[in-house]
């Protein structure tokens, strides 16, 4: 068994404010099973630990965080601690909350997996493309820095150039593309026998078309890449192709480099702690403060095994994050 060094600092904490969601994504089970909201008491119990750990940024996620009846009060409480806030939302309620969100979040990331009404509805399970676009527009107008996030999959890969154009039209600051997580039994609230990841992979028959789309995007949007309006570099986007090729049995999965648990952690709506989105932590919510909970033998061993490459979740992870050790220390 391996054990990591104790965590002395944690620059980023992700909070799932709620398990509930008003989308119906085909690759997710939160909307089928999610019930719980984070309470103010749970939040208050985290605050001393955030201060001790020197946390600088909190990513507010879910479920759909804007469904939490006290999301704004929670954001205010975190801001009062000097924390920078980042909202990850599906955006269905963003038009209604645009001003309040712009006042509280340094950045807002909106998941927009369809570039038109039909594909949005097919992927997200709700007819809400226009509502989400309206919300993005309203948030931008209210002064928020909004980025779009697209989970690239069979139902939308041909529309990548259209997503870039749409991001510009809506006044977004950037657009980001990532692969759909298809192998992880823990992510997206998936529970045994509750559906899980649907068959949304880009298949072998579509891989040449996907490569052509990426070629065209690189040629047509060279300056957009250079300006980082598309957040990923061309080689990073090529990893999406390699990932789907590997899923189709054509080659190895692209190597993953990640030390997310060395600088970040996740607290679920029920208070349970996890080292990252994909790997579960201890089965019960911590009974100590956050700093102590992150450094129990269980968590140290978990981080040690992740760092040693002993967790199968990491092999196909679509959301790996790497920060140089000097940057973490700083
Ligand atoms: S993937 Fe996100 S937006 Fe979609 S149903 Fe799940 S929690 Fe909601
Ligand atoms: S590679 Fe993915 S699963 Fe592994 S620690 Fe990083 S975020 Fe978690």
pLDDT value of position 185: 59
pLDDT score at 196: 44
Question: How far is ligand 2, taken at its centre, from the CA of residue 166, in Å?
Answer: 30
Identify the residue whose tokens are 């997310």: 260
Q: Looking at residue 287, what is its pLDDT?
A: 81
Question: What are the domain boundaries of the chain?
Answer: 12-329
What is the predicted pLDDT for the residue at 187?
A: 58
- For residue 141, the model assigns a pLDDT of 98
Q: Decide yes or no: CATH 3.20.20.70 for domain 12-329.
A: yes
**Ligand 1 proximity of 277 Cβ (cutoff 6 Å):** no
In sequence order, what are the beta bridge partners of 12? Answer: 57, 264
Ligand 2 atom 3 nearest Cα: 314
The residues, ordered by sequence, that sit 6+ positions from 95 with a Cβ below 8 Å of its Cβ are 131, 134, 135, 137, 138
Helix (H) or strand (E) holding 169: helix 160-169
Ligand 2 pocket, Cβ-based, cut-off 6 angstroms: 256, 258, 260-261, 276, 278-279, 306, 311, 313-314, 317, 319-320
Nearest to 303 by CA among 61, 8, 56, 53: 8
How far apart (Å, rounded) are the C-alpha atoms in residues 128 and 135? 10
Cβ pair 232, 177 in contact under 8 A? yes
Whether the Cβ atoms of residue 38 and residue 74 lie closer than 8 Å to each other: yes
Rounded Cα gap, residues 221 and 237, in angstroms: 13
Q: Where are the beta strands (DSSP E) in the chain?
A: 12-16, 57-61, 84-89, 107-111, 146-152, 174-179, 264-267, 273-274
pLDDT at 3: 81
**For the chain, which residues score pLDDT lower than 50?**
193-196
Q: Give the pLDDT of residue 74.
A: 98
Q: Which residue's CA lies nearest to atom 8 of ligand 2?
A: 276
Q: Per the structure block, which two tokens stand in for 201? A: 């992979």
- For the stretch 112-122, pLDDT in tens is 999 999 999 99
Given a contact cutoff of 8 angstroms between Cβ atoms, the answer to whether 73 and 104 are in contact is: no
């Amino acid at each position: 068994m391996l054990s990591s060094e104790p965590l002395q600092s944690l620059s980023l904490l992700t909070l799932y404010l709620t398990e509930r969601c008003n989308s119906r994504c085909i690759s997710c089970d939160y909307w089928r099973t999610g019930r719980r909201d984070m309470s103010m008491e749970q939040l208050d119990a985290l605050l001393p630990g955030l201060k001790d750990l020197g946390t600088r940024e909190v990513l507010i996620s879910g479920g759909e965080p804007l469904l939490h009846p006290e999301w704004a009060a929670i954001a205010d409480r975190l801001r009062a601690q000097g924390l920078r806030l980042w909202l990850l939302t599906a955006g269905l309620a963003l038009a209604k909350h645009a001003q309040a969100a712009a006042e509280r979040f340094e950045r807002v990331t909106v998941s927009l997996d369809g570039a038109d009404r039909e594909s949005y509805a097919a992927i997200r399970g709700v007819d809400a493309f226009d509502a989400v676009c309206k919300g993005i527009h309203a948030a931008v107008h209210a002064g928020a820095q909004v980025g779009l996030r697209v989970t690239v999959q069979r139902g939308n890969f041909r529309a990548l150039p259209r997503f870039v154009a749409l991001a510009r039209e809506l006044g977004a600051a950037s657009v980001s593309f990532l692969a759909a997580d298809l192998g992880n039994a823990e992510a997206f609230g998936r529970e045994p026998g509750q559906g899980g990841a649907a068959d949304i992979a880009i298949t072998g028959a579509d891989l040449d078309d996907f490569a052509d789309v990426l070629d065209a995007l690189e040629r047509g949007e060279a300056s957009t890449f250079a300006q980082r309006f598309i957040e990923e570099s061309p080689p990073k986007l090529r990893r999406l192709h390699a990932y789907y090729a590997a899923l189709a049995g054509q080659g190895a999965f692209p190597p993953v480099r990640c030390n997310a648990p060395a600088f970040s952690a996740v607290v679920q709506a029920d208070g349970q702690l996890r080292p990252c989105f994909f790997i579960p932590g201890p089965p019960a919510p911590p009974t100590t403060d956050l700093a102590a909970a992150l450094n129990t033998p269980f968590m140290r061993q978990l981080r040690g095994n992740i760092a040693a490459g002993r967790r199968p979740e990491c092999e196909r992870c679509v959301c790996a994050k790497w920060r140089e050790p000097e940057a973490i220390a700083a």
